[in-house]
Amino acid sequence: MNKRYFIRLSYKGTNYHGWQIQPNAITVQEVLNKALSTILNCEINVVGCGRTDTGVHASDFYAHFDVDEQVTFDCDKLTFRLNRFLPHDIAIKQTFQVREEAHTRFDATARTYHYFITKEKNPFRLESHWKVAYELDVQKMNEAAKILFEFEDFTSFSKLHTDVKTNNCKIYQAEWKDNGDELVFTVKADRFLRNMVRAIVGTLVEVGRGKMNLDDFRQVIESKNRSNAGSSVPGHGLFLATIDYPDTIRDL
């Protein structure tokens, strides 16, 4: 019989080809598997709450793993040992036991992403913000963002040839905030499609530049055609910010 544990972590995605293991490329999942397998002295394969693409960051991320019930350890001590073992760009916040059927991906009720745009050259934001050299109409971008609430099918913002059962998502929040020297887009939904946030941001930027009006933006979504939407913005400005779970997720 196995026991299941959740790991809460954060990582800077700059040096990784995303979360999910892939051949001939270093990923966060691979590094975490190696760390856990070494420390616990048994083969561990973690399952993530989602998959981030190359260069994308996560300020909050969950993964789970199973161990035989005969394998015992203190969760706080495991967190400490993992942080000593892992590279500087992956940090473990917490480890805790959950019921055997709890799942980091399927039990998540909502996810929130932030996308950061900088207006000025700043060496300290090279790997966390997308720099733009043009003015953006934030008010128009927010008006367009509200249109997202009218729809559930976001095929137009999905990566082509993605094998999913449905392209429907329920968006709970979508708004831009102007902090003076940076713009931050926050979007929250029950689920996201591959490349969806970056495609939405790229299309909203087209609105902000005056290359697309509100009716155009609505028609992009209605068309269910990825080629009608804007280009995907670079991954390094994107952060997975929070994952929501039911309060009962920690119940054993």
Categorise residue 183: left if φ over 0, alpha if ψ from -120 to 50, beta otherwise: beta
Please say whether the beta carbons of 186 and 114 come within 8 A. yes
Name the nearest CA neighbour of 176 among 216, 215, 211, 203. 203
- Kindly name the residue from 53, 66, 181, 251 that is annotated as catalytic: 53
47: part of which helix (H) or strand (E)? Answer: strand 47-48
The residues, ordered by sequence, that sit 6+ positions from 198 with a Cβ below 8 Å of its Cβ are 53, 115, 232, 233, 234, 235, 238
Task: Answer yes or no: 251 catalytic.
Answer: no
Question: Any bridge partners for residue 68, and if so which?
Answer: 2
Cα 215 to Cα 80: distance, rounded to the nearest angstrom: 53
Q: Residue 228 has which token pair? A: 């009608």
Whether residue 113 is annotated as binding a ligand: the answer is yes
Active site residues: 53
Q: Which residues are annotated as a binding site for substrate?
A: 113
Q: Which residues are annotated as a binding site?
A: 113
